[in-house]
Amino acid sequence: MNMKKWSTMGLAASMVLVAAGCGKTAAPAESTKPAASVAPTVAASAAPTAAAAKKLTGDFEIQYFVGGYGDKWWKKVIADFQAANPDLKIKESAGPKINEQTKPRWIAGNPPDFVYIDGPELFDRQMVTDGQLEDLTDWLKDAKNVDGEKILDLLAQQPPQYDGKIYNIPFVMSSWGIFYDKALFKDKGWAEPKDFEDFLKVSDTIKAAGINPFIHTGKYPYYINGAILYPAIVSANNNDYKLLQDMASNNLDAWKSPAILKGLNKIVQLRDKGFIDKASVQINHTDSQSLFLQHKDAFIPNGLWLPNEMAKDVPASFDFGFIPSITQDKGGKVVANTSTSTFAIAKKAKNKDAAKAFMQFVFSKAQASQWAELSGAPSNIKGDISSSKAPNFVKDAAKFLSSPDTVVVPTVSFAADVDKAMQDATVALTIGTITPEEWVKRVTDVVAKQKK
């Protein structure tokens, strides 16, 4: 499927939802616990057709991370699935630290059956490399949801492939980008930047007004990588995102591309002009977001979950503006680096029949609608929208993502060690302790080890 085309038909549609929830943040602590019954809010999907043909029994364990998206949908969908399969013993392993808690079990070969790949400590590419996920390639070719619809036909973004194989399926859809306060900009007479030249110009004005132009979360540098660096690399590579995909597949030749250095130099310019808040290097996501909401900083790189994650702290007058990228040159296309969270089945799952039936259950339009209602986030299922109640920043995102002038980048995932090396190197680059060339050297050294 041509990934540049689905922005108009699929992703733009799914983005016109109240986008919210963070895959990398904490929520009130939870522990492993049994499924709980939750009052329905919308009609649940019918019992799985596959389950109707084969009665589901035994134990079935679901692992899911609880972050900015919350757990209301999980409670509801698991209760629905339990009601449809009363002889199944469902166990929830959930919470903000569940990935860390279950890591020893995955290593020992005793994992939960079904896993939501989101949050810290989980990297889909690494899980595939380590042989932890079930190969879904053949099953997914003809797999239908509980309504008899082919799952692959419903997806806005198709599943990632690893050497031509499919191991996980995207369910949650988001986009990285740059947030600002439209109300503040209107009050100050500042113009929304359309490109990097505009961004530097307005940032000079913002700095002169006594406000830091830009803040990011130094403790989690994948925010600045996702919203600044990756789009900058794509722009420098003639709007071709295949370079990012080649980098993620540990192609050493790809890492020699001059587009990487050009992208890194955009960060260097922000640093050398003093636009990056010096507090960034030592703070986490919520601290940086709080400073942004207090107008201590004008721009912040983040995902579409930001407004919901900080809902209790958003000033009444705050009007979120969203731009997928600001690193393109004058006249260049906007680059939207998408972010998905996926579902997978453990290769050593003890109840694969139940896991596949649950996969069929969740990938339905009814559950996509429930996800939007209960999490406030867009899903990867086409047509699950209600634009009338969408906030302005989501409409902004939809406008960008449906535009022929936007390059929509399919979600790219790196091996855990490579991703960590990039994050560490980017922090060092933002504070001037390394050069772009040294950034590349640091990361390619790790890539080379991956190749051995």
pLDDT tens digits, one per residue of 415-439: 889 999 999 999 999 999 999 999 9
pLDDT at 378 over 50: yes
Q: What's the mean pLDDT when you consider all of the chain?
A: 87
d(C-alpha 5, C-alpha 9), whole Å: 7
Quick one: which of 109, 58, 106 has its CA closest to 86? 58
Q: Which amino acid is at 297?
A: D
Q: What is the pLDDT of residue 304?
A: 85
Angle made by CA atoms 72, 73, 75, in degrees to the nearest 5 = 65
Q: Which amino acid is at 342?
A: T
Bigger pLDDT: 353 or 5? 353
d(C-alpha 298, C-alpha 245), whole Å: 31
Q: What is the pLDDT of residue 204?
A: 98
Indicate the pTM of the whole model: 0.73
Q: What is the pLDDT of residue 233?
A: 98
d(C-alpha 168, C-alpha 247), whole Å: 20
Strands 114-117 and 88-95: unpaired
Domains of the chain plus CATH, in order, are 14-174+339-391 (3.40.190.10), 175-337+397-451 (3.40.190.10)
pLDDT class for 10, splitting at 50, 70, 90? Answer: very low
Task: Phi first, then psi: give them for residue 409, nearest 5 degrees.
Answer: -95, 120
Bigger pLDDT: 385 or 287? 287
- Region 129-143 average pLDDT: 97
169, 363 Cβ separation under 8 angstroms = yes
Question: For residue 170, what are the β-bridge partners?
Answer: 342
The pLDDT > 70 percentage for the chain reads 85
195, 332 Cβ separation under 8 angstroms = yes
* Residue-wise pLDDT tens digits, 34-87: 343 333 344 444 444 444 457 999 999 999 999 878 899 999 999 999 999 999
pLDDT class for 308, splitting at 50, 70, 90? Answer: confident
Cα 136 to Cα 128, 133, 352: the distances in Å are 12, 9, 11
Q: What is the pLDDT of residue 344?
A: 98
Burial of 164 (0-12, 13-18, 19+ CB in 10 A): exposed
Q: Which two tokens stand for residue 304?
A: 């579409």
pLDDT class for 234, splitting at 50, 70, 90? Answer: very high
pLDDT at 112 over 70: yes
Q: What is the pLDDT of residue 38?
A: 38
Residue environment code for 102-127, b if the CB has 16+ CB neighbours within 10 A, otherwise e: beebbeeeebbbbbbbbbbebbbbbb
Indicate if the alpha-carbon torsion angle 435, 207, 400, 332 is positive or negative: negative
Q: What is the pLDDT of residue 143?
A: 98
pLDDT at 4 over 90: no
Burial of 189 (0-12, 13-18, 19+ CB in 10 A): exposed
Task: Spell out the residues 6+ positions from residue 130 whose beta carbon is closer than 8 angstroms to its own.
Answer: none
pLDDT at 17 over 50: no
Q: What is the pLDDT of residue 7?
A: 35
Q: What is the pLDDT of residue 390?
A: 58
* Residue-wise pLDDT tens digits, 188-197: 999 999 999 9
Q: Average the pLDDT over each of 194-208, 231-245, 306-320, 323-337 and give the range with the smallest value.
A: 306-320
